[in-house]
Amino acid sequence: MSTSEELKTSFIRKEVRDIKSKIDCYETIYSFGDIKCINLKRLILLKQSELSVLEHILEARKNGNDPEDKK
């Protein structure tokens, strides 16, 4: 793996950690009940979708099949 690829992978891993942290935070806020709102639930679902895409990219990179190479 080249330095550029390692940097991309490192960046994606950091994004995954950040998104997981945000999801945990949003779900904690959402669970309090008095702050329940549809927009927060939508934000949680959006972040979970983002996380899924990034995890898919990481898995593909690990298997030597980077989806970004197809651009």
**pLDDT tens figures, 10-29:** 999 999 999 999 889 888 88
Note whether residue 8 is domain-resident.
yes
Q: What is the pLDDT of residue 70?
A: 59
Note whether residue 42 is domain-resident.
yes
Note whether residue 54 is domain-resident.
yes
Cα–Cα distances (Å) from 41 to 9, 12, 32, 48, in that order, read 29, 24, 13, 11
Q: What is the pLDDT of residue 35?
A: 57
Note whether residue 68 is domain-resident.
no
Note whether residue 71 is domain-resident.
no
Domain count, the chain: 1
Q: Is the pTM of this model over 0.95?
A: no
- Structural domain of residue 36, as residue ranges? 3-60
**Integer Cα distance of 46 and 21 in angstroms:** 14
Q: What is the CB neighbour count within 10 angstroms for residue 23?
A: 18
